[in-house]
Amino acid sequence: MSDNSDESTDFCFGDICNAFPENFLFGAATASYQIEGGWNEDGKGPNIWDTLTHKHPELIKDRSSGDIGPDSYHLYREDVRRLKELDVDFYRFSISWSRILPNGDISSLNPAGVKYYSDLIDLLEQEEIQPMVTMFHYDLPQYLQDLGGFTNILIVRYFREYARVLFENYGKRIKHWITFNEPSETCIQGYGSGTQAPLIRLPGVGEYLCAYHILLAHAEVYHLYRNEYFDGYKGKVGITLDSRWLYQKTPGNDLVERGMQFQLGFFANAIFSRDGGWPKLLQEIVDTNSIFEGRLRSRLPAFSPTEIERLRLSADFLGLNYYSANYVKAPEIWNAPKKSHSAFREPSWENDQNLTYFVDPKWPQAKSTWLYMVPEGLRDILLWIRDTYGNPEVIITENGWSDSGELEDDGRIEYLTRHLKAVQEAIQKNCRVTGYTYWSLIDNFEWMMGYTEKFGLYRVDMEDPEKKRIEKKSAIAYKQIIKNRKVTPAKMEDSCTKYSCPTFPEEFMFGTATAAYQVEGGRNEDGRGPCVWDTLIHNQPDVIKDKSSGDVGPDSYHLYREDVRRLKELGVDFYRFSISWSRILPNGDISSLNPAGVKYYSDLIDLLIEEGIEPMITMFHLDLPQYLEDMGGPTNSLFVKYFREYARVLFDNYADRVKLWSTFNEPLMYSTSAYGTGDFAPMKKMHGVAEYLVAYNILLAHAEVYHLYREQYYGKFKGKLGITLSAQGILRKTHGNDLEERGWQFQLGIFANPIFSKEGGWPKIVQETIDENSKKEGRAWSRLPTFTEEQIERIKGTADFFGFNYFTGRFVESGITTNSQTSPLDPSWERDMNLTFAVDDTWKRGKSDWLYLVPEGLRNSLFWIRDTYDNPEVLITENGWSDSGEIEDDDRVECLRVHLRIVQEAIEKGCRVKAYSHWSLIDNFEWMMGYTEKFGLYRVDMEDAEKKRIEKKSAKVYREIIKNRKVM
């Protein structure tokens, strides 16, 4: 097998992993009225939305307004911080005309308003985020509306002078300008149907008059920039249009082209087509309908030849807002003989278009009634623009998904990834798409729907005076797409990577774990005896970082039903917990059997089974009865007998219901830390000798218990028994030496080799090293106890599965010291191993000083186990992340996802990984660190007498993964 046969690769299907072009830009968008607030602060004048929401609050679904909103007028620095987190290339925002010019005219110039946007632009540039400015996004100054707004030709001059103010103040720093956002919405809903501000109902006339004036205003601003500012600033000016894509189920009349010309062509034809002016089809229909209505002139204003030429090609790019698609069909009156169809109905843009829109019921629907997920529509509309308008540069200026504000916004992630894939397809078909903008950065005021529909990558806590921005799952996904410049979707129907879409095998089990001393409490209740941690903490409380203990802790001794309720919520297949030896046998011996302790675990097991959750028991998890420690603990060979009889008690009481048993948890860590360095209870510092003596006795004890089960219980109960080992995953920096193998054997091999290898006994490199070092130290015998042939055979093969705890990884480098005969160094497991473990400064670090996010270390570990021990069945019994206890524990979510993807990869590479258990179910006592580091999927309120369990974001994510059996 070659050295790199299992190296990580990009797994892609089709073109999904193709990188976006180097010059492609990613961004996010907002609009002034929707996020700023500060509606009457620092000289801002009222706009038409201020008027509407104050005079007619009942028209807004939740009677809300943008008076304060997300308060970006005061919190723009917070918004920029989120943009920096996302690492976007640009930020598209709009300027409030009435904040710059309170009455819309240059005579009312407001320095405070000018300064606000200048400060925002400066901060964006400081963070290397390009500002993209929209001049008008629905919020016309009320003063100008009182003059007729966009139905008055004067608006052209007012808009031109407003633009001049913007160019004068910001032109040097802004390279992308957008004159109008979605002018068709302004005209059709604002001046046609009257369903949005300014609520002017002039159907059939107002829409077209408004469109005519907006187009003229746009052209004036474009030429103003080209004539007076372009040479100095070299920026671009465009316009943002919106459109659905349309599909037609039946051939015949070209209903799609008709619909597209009325939607996109309404504004695009005049600017982007070779001929200019209104779309021919649209002009003919409105002119004809006007005649049938008995009018002396068309409802559609006519462009003069000069205006047509001035408008034509007056944009450096086309901004496209795409959200959804529709099917179109002709209404019943389509074939009305010898009469215009519009004669039967009130004149309007909709009735001139004369199409019926409908949807495919299979399309996923968002919170917004009009919004369906149709990503192929984006691809098709881009192709239509390419073919209709000579392939102009296109920037997708809005694209987004609405929901109720969930942090676990998987629908938004699917929408995002599928639409970006559609963009890639369009680019591959030579569409000149140069940027993508997600709508929106934060949840905001969504016009007539108020705050009832949410589009943001970040939630805004509207109840919080500080309007806290809270990251959603979609922000994490978008951040990764931007970082990798690839679409790596969490959920897509037809495009997957091996990391995302494949399901786990049917028999694969998901679980979570705890340990007795860390969660139970009830230290001296109902007959429980003291363990080594009770003794340590009561005698030396200062050694625990926060001077805490497990005396009460999360109190699972009394609250185990609450824990099981959380397990049921998660939907786990199994729960791995440990039994407190001193609760069952207070002094460790069968003579001290404690019925109350036996009953506690029996009740827990019964409840788990009742809820369909399989119990997995760890017999020993670091908490030795103090009575046995007083006899030397596992340094005493009697430990083997005591452990065997303890196991017999467990089998007699629980084997009928428990099918998964693990004898010891992390015996290497226990041996080296508790009896070598003395960093863990019982804090015995006997390094170089005791580590190996403990390992020797634990291996013998494990083997005795395995044979006990196989000989006396297996025939009836058919369970499995294994051991749980741990290691830091080893990563290679250089090839050509045996440092990695040495590291693996001293970490995993020291316990795994006697059990899982064909030859049994200590790993050869471990035995040779310690034997040689012992001789150099002048010892009469090796510090490593010798197995007899009989012991080697008795230990070999004594596990039905390999339990593996993986948390982090390291690089290995040669030696911490020399091992010369003259070296007066203290012997220890670390010095025998003679390796330095190193980290990469770029790795993400947990709250624990030893914990880094290194998922590839898990992959390497699983491959090494597969290749070294003939591919045993592996259960990942612990894997987790520490933090300070945040509810929004995004790093834990990331840890969970990336490691589960690695598990999938390992399974695909032939590793027999059968289960994954997340550490831990709840925040608990983390040994020497007390409660200062938290690993739980649920927070425990330690100040609450009832120790309330509080769900974290990671619990929700894990629940979805388990439910779908996919890494979402």
Residue-level pLDDT at 253: 66
Strand locations in 192-349 (E): 236-242, 245-248, 318-321, 325-329
Average pLDDT over residues 253-267: 94
Provide φ and ψ at 933, rounded to 5°: -125, 135
Residue-level pLDDT at 488: 62
Average pLDDT over residues 406-426: 95
Residue-level pLDDT at 815: 72
Query: What gap in Å lies between CA 964 and CA 968, rounded to an integer?
Result: 8
Active site residue 182: yes
Active site residue 346: no
Report the chain's mean pLDDT, rounded to a whole number: 93
> In the structure, what pLDDT confidence band is assigned to residue 494 with cuts at 50, 70 and 90?
very low
Q: What is the pLDDT of residues 142-187, one digit of tens each?
A: 999 999 899 999 999 999 999 999 999 999 999 999 999 999 999 9
Q: What is the pLDDT of residues 1-55, one digit of tens each?
A: 233 334 333 333 333 346 899 999 999 999 999 999 999 999 999 999 999 999 9
Residue-level pLDDT at 392: 98
Q: What is the pLDDT of residues 87-110, one digit of tens each?
A: 999 999 999 999 999 999 999 999
Query: What gap in Å lies between CA 533 and CA 425, rounded to an integer?
Result: 61
- Contact between residue 413 and residue 477 where contact means Cβ atoms under 8 Å apart: yes
Residue-level pLDDT at 495: 34
> In the structure, what pLDDT confidence band is assigned to residue 251 with cuts at 50, 70 and 90?
low
Q: Which amino acid is at 777?
A: E
What distance lies between CA 870 and its chain's CA centroid?
36
Average pLDDT over residues 786-808: 98
What separation, in Å, do the N-terminal and C-terminal C-alpha atoms of the chain show?
A: 33
Predicted confidence (pLDDT) at residue 517 exceeds the cutoff of 60:
yes
Residue-level pLDDT at 431: 97
* The total number of residues written for the chain in this structure: 968
> In the structure, what pLDDT confidence band is assigned to residue 738 with cuts at 50, 70 and 90?
confident
Fold: same for 25-484 and 509-964: yes
Active site residue 562: no
Predicted confidence (pLDDT) at residue 336 exceeds the cutoff of 60:
no
Q: Which of 104, 219, 129, 228 lies closest to 171 in space, CA to CA?
A: 228
Q: What is the pLDDT of residues 297-328, one digit of tens each?
A: 999 999 999 999 999 999 999 999 999 999 99
Predicted confidence (pLDDT) at residue 818 exceeds the cutoff of 60:
no
Q: What is the DSSP string of 374-394?
A: -HHHHHHHHHHHHHHTT---E
> What are the structural domain ranges in the chain?
25-484, 509-964
Indicate the pairing of strand 469-471 with strand 318-321. unpaired
Predicted confidence (pLDDT) at residue 824 exceeds the cutoff of 50:
no
Give the Å distances, CA to CA, from 442 to 70, 472, 867: 8, 10, 49
Question: How many helices and strands in the chain, by DSSP H and E?
Answer: 36, 26
Peptide bond into 64 cis (omega under 30): no
Active site residue 666: yes
Residue-level pLDDT at 14: 34
Beta bridge partners of 181: 240
The model's pTM is: 0.56
Structure tokens of 157?
């001059």
Pick the residue with more confidence: 711 or 250? 711
Is the CATH number 3.30.420.40 carried by domain 25-484? no
Residue-level pLDDT at 780: 87
Specify the DSSP class assigned to residue 872: -
Indicate the pairing of strand 318-321 with strand 614-620. unpaired
Question: Could you say which of 78, 350, 425, 666 is catalytic?
Answer: 666
Looking at 165-169, 442-446, 490-494, which range is the least confident one?
490-494
Question: Could you say which of 182, 207, 220, 453 is catalytic?
Answer: 182
> In the structure, what pLDDT confidence band is assigned to residue 733 with cuts at 50, 70 and 90?
low
Predicted confidence (pLDDT) at residue 814 exceeds the cutoff of 50:
yes
Question: Could you say which of 36, 398, 414, 453 is catalytic?
Answer: 398
Query: What gap in Å lies between CA 942 and CA 947, rounded to an integer?
Result: 6
> In the structure, what pLDDT confidence band is assigned to residue 825 with cuts at 50, 70 and 90?
low
**Sequence-separated contacts (24+) of 671-674 with Cβ below 8 Å:** 671/634, 671/695, 671/698, 671/829, 672/829, 672/830, 674/532, 674/622
> In the structure, what pLDDT confidence band is assigned to residue 343 with cuts at 50, 70 and 90?
very low
Q: Which of 845, 941, 955 lies closest to 889 in space, CA to CA?
A: 955
> In the structure, what pLDDT confidence band is assigned to residue 252 with cuts at 50, 70 and 90?
low
Predicted confidence (pLDDT) at residue 945 exceeds the cutoff of 80:
yes
Average pLDDT over residues 499-522: 88
Is the CATH number 3.20.20.80 carried by domain 509-964? yes
Q: What is the pLDDT of residues 457-467, one digit of tens each?
A: 999 999 999 99
Question: Could you say which of 691, 878, 905, 933 is catalytic?
Answer: 878
